[in-house]
Amino acid sequence: MKVIVVGNGGREHAIAWKLAQSSSVEEVICTPGNGGTAFENKCRNVEGKTHDDFVRIAKENGCELCVVGPEDPLAAGLADKFWAEGIPTVGTRKDPAQLEASKDMAKDFMKKYGVACAASKTFTDKNEALAYVKEKGAPIVLKADGLAAGKGVVVALNMEDALKAVEDLMDGALVGDAGRKLVIEEYMRGVEVSILSAVCVDPELTKAGKSCIVPFVSARDHKRLLDGAKGPNTGGMGAIAPVDDVTEEVLAKFQKDILEPTLKGIESEGWDYKGFIFFGLMITKEGPKVIEYNIRLGDPETQAVLPLMDFDFAQMCKAITEGKLSEFKTAWKKGYVVSPVAVSGGYPKAYKKGLEMTIDSSKTSKAKVFIAGAVEKDGKLLTSGGRVIACSANGETFDEAWKKAYEAIEGVSFEDMFYRKDIGLPGAAESN
């Protein structure tokens, strides 16, 4: 079969790469794709910008399955459009996509169905929000309600930063209209982890007792720019999988206190949700609690998790669209993946684009280089974004994976390239 993948980031390169490994996949059409998918085995880029473009490209190329990578098109209803055109799609429909598109809606959902999470309150009036922050004190967490490309959350450790965040978010200085409604949460103490999962729910499956959420191995993103979890927040400076402090006890509490009530909530709302969900968690002394839902795979966690899959990812995606995920058997490779990210100098602020990148295959042979922010032009790779590549390596031990990943990333080169040297090491993870 032919599969279309919508998106152009590192996550989409990893998705296309994993789909192409399936013997059942003839070709992966990437729209718009990037410099990595341009050279990937069995993959081909086709330029597309609008939802109509994506559907047209799928039809013209005879695609029998669609996988949507980013959250924005899902929140805008792209999956609904594909299904209406008769193309089975991995990616939730518009209504449940609001679990990520609206932090306020997600908190209401968590409270309604008893999902373990931080206490919170939502505001549309800036003065009321400022008064609440003064009453509660710092540290405190402030979240823009709408989609903000990973820039809508401020963890304020002192009152000055908290009050400034209210002003900046609600006046539109940081994230535009996304911050007009503000969710203010208690500050949870613990360490962050991510659990990406496949979802297959609709009213008919629920009646038959076959709706399900299937969690993947745990992962951890490293958001801060600098070693030791210092510096500004970014879209992600690297990831590891699995995470050793996600113990069997933690997983049992996650299943009981988070996954099961989330599934019950999706069923009770009567949603048609066939795609992925990403649980952003804080492991607290009381157990794991939800920081946020993402209604797609995480980036860069996907680049660390997918290489550990020891099953046919394309067949899993097909099972999701056919309502057969509950019958699908997963298996995971032993060991670890370490995936540091290389960024352009100046990121997450202003940075140059159009820089030529070289990859020395003799140095990267023991890892997989996923392209995030680079395009192909005349056979060359030119940088086009802040996060440029993720370099993923698998090892039987964490130390082996770490060594392979960092040896490989030295084989990637472009002007002012920067990366953290401590992904996965003690003290590298954000903790509260």
Tell me how far CA of residue 130 lies from CA of 134, 171, 173, 258, 398, in angstroms. Answer: 6, 12, 16, 31, 45
Q: How high is the pLDDT of residue 174?
A: 74
- DSSP state, 329? P
pLDDT in tens, 201-232: 999 999 999 999 999 999 999 999 999 999 98
Strand order in the sheet with 120-123: 120-123, 182-185, 140-144, 153-156
**Distance, CA of 306 to CA of 69 (rounded, Å):** 14
Q: How high is the pLDDT of residue 308?
A: 98
137: left (phi over 0), alpha (psi -120 to 50) or beta: left
- DSSP state, 363? H
* 14's tokens: 């990893």
Q: How high is the pLDDT of residue 107?
A: 95
Does the pLDDT of residue 371 top 90, yes or no? yes
pTM of the model: 0.95
pLDDT in tens, 2-49: 999 999 999 999 999 999 999 999 999 999 999 999 999 999 999 999
Does the pLDDT of residue 408 top 90, yes or no? yes
pLDDT in tens, 409-427: 999 999 999 999 999 999 8
**Distance, CA of 219 to CA of 89 (rounded, Å):** 25
**In the structure, what pLDDT confidence band is assigned to residue 292 with cuts at 50, 70 and 90?**
very high
126: left (phi over 0), alpha (psi -120 to 50) or beta: alpha
| DSSP for 292-315, written as a single string | EEESS--TTHHHHHGGGB-S-HHH
Q: How high is the pLDDT of residue 152?
A: 84
Q: How high is the pLDDT of residue 178?
A: 83
pLDDT in tens, 96-114: 999 999 999 999 999 999 9
Mean pLDDT of the residues in the chain: 95
* 148's tokens: 């903000």
Residue 61: CB atoms within 10 A of its CB come to: 15
Q: How high is the pLDDT of residue 179?
A: 84
Strand order in the sheet with 356-359: 374-377, 380-383, 356-359, 412-413
Q: How high is the pLDDT of residue 215?
A: 98
